[in-house]
């Protein structure tokens, strides 16, 4: 995908998004979206989950938490390279991390209109400075999410706003979208309350996705309006065929869902928009998982 090409039409922009997803796919992996951030997720049952949902509706809305701060060197989404540190409670860059799905840190960058998305794995130096190569984003406002777990600490998702300069074309309001096509794959999403099922097909035949760093696929859910980074839990370790997740929905509304999956050694990203009404945390507790 060529940088600098102005993509005004929605269809082209979406194609660009998918191109970005495919382009970064080879270097991207899954984040552990199932064990997100704002609270330690061990041993909570459905009742706790409800309470925690009320107390911590989502991650990614804060740039600092519990003494940890996401400190970018600039706020540019169009500079090619993005560099940052995670500063710890002692005021120094964190240099010791727990690995989450074989990675110390997962970087998600999404446009505020929820049409552009990249899932990246930055490289860290010994001083705790992280660098990532950003894809060529179209002009607009972006949010970068760092998902990480310092050694001996909780897992966090911290977020900071970025900008890609240029003429911004106002996006149409989001509408529900439950199917996407990525290359030769058709991907559909079906929702049953807070549980969603993703089905990947090729030529009309359901495809079983490859295991990818210990999971069958990875789903990131972002709320329209504030880009709240929503907790998502995989429901099966290695399913044959469709892949299921439970989403901890903090409210009704529209959510953009980005599904990373691997087939035949290549990682793809499918994008959906889910319109949720009446499936909030209040009835999440009886999801039976």
If the CB atoms of residues 207 and 215 are measured against Cu ion, the closer one turns out to be: 215
If the CB atoms of residues 38 and 267 are measured against Cu ion, the closer one turns out to be: 267
Rounded least distance, CB 260 to Cu ion, Å? 8
Query: What CA–CA distance (Å, rounded) separates 133 from 87?
Result: 21
CA 251, 235, 159, 54 dihedral sign is: positive
Q: 188: which DSSP letter? A: E
Residue 152, number of CB atoms within 10 A of its CB? 7
* 143 belongs to the binding site for Cu ion (CB under 5 A): no
Residues 6 or more apart whose CB falls under 8 angstroms from that of 218 comprise 29, 30, 31, 33, 119, 212, 259, 260, 261
If the CB atoms of residues 103 and 284 are measured against Cu ion, the closer one turns out to be: 103
Of 244, 245, 243, 256, nearest to 200 by C-alpha is 243
Rg of the chain taking only CA atoms, in angstroms: 18
Q: Is 204 helix (H, G, I), strand (E, B) or coil?
A: coil
Rounded least distance, CB 17 to Cu ion, Å? 17
Rounded least distance, CB 156 to Cu ion, Å? 14
If the CB atoms of residues 84 and 276 are measured against Cu ion, the closer one turns out to be: 84
Query: What CA–CA distance (Å, rounded) separates 56 from 231?
Result: 10
Rounded least distance, CB 192 to Cu ion, Å? 27
If the CB atoms of residues 77 and 105 are measured against Cu ion, the closer one turns out to be: 105
- The 10-49 site mask, x for binding Cu ion (CB under 5 A), equals -------------------x-x------------------
Among positions 94-133, residues that touch Cu ion (CB under 5 A) are 106
Q: Which residues bind Cu ion (CB under 5 A)?
A: 29, 31, 106
């Amino acid at each position: 995908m060529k940088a600098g090409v102005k993509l005004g039409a929605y269809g082209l922009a979406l194609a660009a998004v998918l191109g970005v997803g495919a382009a970064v796919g080879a270097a991207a992996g899954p984040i552990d979206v199932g064990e997100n951030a704002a609270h330690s997720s061990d041993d909570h049952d459905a009742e706790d989950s409800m309470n925690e949902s009320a107390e911590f509706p989502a991650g990614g809305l804060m740039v600092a938490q519990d003494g940890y701060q996401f400190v970018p060197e600039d706020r540019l989404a169009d500079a090619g390279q993005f560099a940052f540190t995670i500063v710890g409670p002692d005021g120094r860059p964190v240099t010791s991390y727990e690995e989450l799905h074989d990675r110390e840190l997962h970087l998600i960058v999404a446009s505020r209109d929820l049409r552009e998305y990249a899932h990246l794995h930055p490289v860290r130096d010994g001083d705790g400075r992280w660098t990532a190569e950003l894809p060529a984003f179209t002009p607009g406002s972006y949010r970068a999410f760092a998902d990480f777990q310092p050694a001996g600490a909780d897992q966090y998702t911290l977020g900071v706003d970025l900008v890609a300069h240029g003429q911004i074309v106002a996006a149409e309001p989001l509408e529900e979208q439950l199917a996407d096509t990525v290359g030769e794959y058709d991907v559909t999403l079906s929702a049953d309350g807070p549980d969603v099922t993703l089905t990947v097909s090729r030529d009309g035949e359901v495809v079983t996705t490859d295991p990818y760093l210990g999971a069958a696929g990875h789903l990131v859910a972002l709320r329209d309006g504030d880009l709240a980074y929503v907790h998502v839990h995989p429901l099966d370790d290695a399913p044959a065929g469709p892949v299921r997740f439970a989403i901890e929905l903090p409210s009704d509304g529209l959510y953009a869902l980005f599904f990373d999956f691997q087939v035949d050694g290549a990682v793809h990203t499918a994008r959906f928009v889910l319109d949720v009404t009446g499936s909030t945390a209040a009835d999440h507790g009886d999801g039976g998982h």
